[in-house]
Amino acid sequence: MKAAILAKFAEVFGDNEGTRAYFAPGRVNMIGEHTDYNGGHVFPCALTMGTYGVARKRNDQTLRFYSINFEQLGIIESSLEDLKPYKEANWTNYPKGIIWALGQRGMELPVGLDLLLYGNIPNGSGLSSSASVEVLTGYILRDMFGFDVTNQDLALIGQFSENQFNGVNCGIMDQFAIAMGKEGHGIFLDTADLSFTYAPIKLQDAKIVIASSNKKRGLGDSKYNRRRSECETALADLQKVVDIKSLGELSEEAFEQYKYAIQSDVCRKRAKHAVYENQRTIHAVEALQNNDVKLFGQLMNASHVSLRDDYEVTGIELDTLVEEAWKVEGVIGSRMTGAGFGGCTVSIVKNDVIDTFIDSVGKAYAAKIGYAADFYVVEIGDGPRML
């Protein structure tokens, strides 16, 4: 891959002298959905698929961006003097956001750059192609300009730029999972204080299979921000009767005791999901540590039901993928993953039925939805690195 992207850089930008090549993974969240902005736990892992980048410094203030995934857009130019999000800037608003966010921390780029990217994460799939680009850009800039930031800082800078520059009110999970990934392990992260442990994901005779619904969605203009504000409303109501800073502090029992304080039925359902999903995530990691993959799968299934019924972020595409997965003998667990409203499902599937799974779920999905889903058998990989 390194040789291919260096050759493409030379083709696009004239030569590849002075370049360096890098990689940052995508991520999948195994369980703990829509808990990250509610002060709860999440359990994502980095993938071996992700975003490749080639970069070199310029001797002026110009920024030139090129993506192999969006070749029809050609080179998109910008400048260090004009770091603002523009619709016509398209995907380049993500790397520009990182340059802006570093500047907000007093780390300004002295010169511009040429940057070529190639991602083998399906765009809009919910596997965090945008967060992968953000962490990759931060990693590149740290390496090229010697900025004093840790990988954990890169995650926070990525979240800050997505919130403040790109206007998506996301939590910390995606950037954190990508920046801190570890091969063969999930990251059990408490989003309230960013304390985390690595938990080995040993699936014995099974693998993780991701199904992309191929339903396109844009997070910034989706119902994502609305769900977040519904949780904030529920929290404000609860704080009148119980001393908490986030929904993640409540046990199921405490929620049932105090839920009467939430004025809106809708907000009560959203808060119930946030509380119960957080507890499910804690139990799921305990199950893995006890080598109980079966219980982990049951908790994944329960997570999907909650996201469908209480959080209402699944939709017919994701529900079809999950419900068809549940019908296949040898599927240990299946659920939507990511923000929802399209995107992906994640399933744990016994090795000997993976082909059957892809065939039967794929056929049923195409018959019901009218277009095909894509399937990826994935491995758990490391965080960002220089190639």
User: Up-side HSE of residue 81: CA atoms within 13 Å toward CB?
Assistant: 3
Told to judge if 174 belongs to the known catalytic residues of this protein, a careful annotator would answer yes
Q: Count of CB atoms within 10 A of residue 185's CB?
A: 18
Q: Distance (Å, rounded) from C-alpha 32 to C-alpha 152?
A: 20
DSSP 38: G
Q: Distance (Å, rounded) from C-alpha 125 to C-alpha 174?
A: 13
Q: Helix 265-289 vs helix 224-238: angle between axes, to the nearest 10 degrees?
A: 100
Beta strands in 299-384 (DSSP E): 331-337, 344-350, 374-378
Buried b (16+ CB within 10 A) or exposed e, 220-236: eebebeebbebbbbbbe
Buried b (16+ CB within 10 A) or exposed e, 294-326: ebbbbbbbbbbebbbebbbbbbebbbbbbebbe
Q: Distance (Å, rounded) from C-alpha 103 to C-alpha 138?
A: 12
Residue 280, class by beta-carbon neighbours within 10 Å (0-12 exposed, 13-18 middle, 19+ buried)?
Answer: buried
Phi, psi (deg, nearest 5) at residue 357: -60, -50
Selection from 273, 282, 281, 276 nearest residue 307 by Cα: 273
Residues 6 or more apart whose CB falls under 8 angstroms from that of 144 comprise 20, 55, 57, 113
Phi, psi (deg, nearest 5) at residue 207: -135, 165
Residues 6 or more apart whose CB falls under 8 angstroms from that of 280 comprise 31, 32, 299, 302, 303, 306
Catalytic residue among 36, 60, 148, 174: 174
Contact 199, 43 (CB under 8 A): yes
Contact 372, 360 (CB under 8 A): no
Instruction: Return the active site residues.
Output: 174
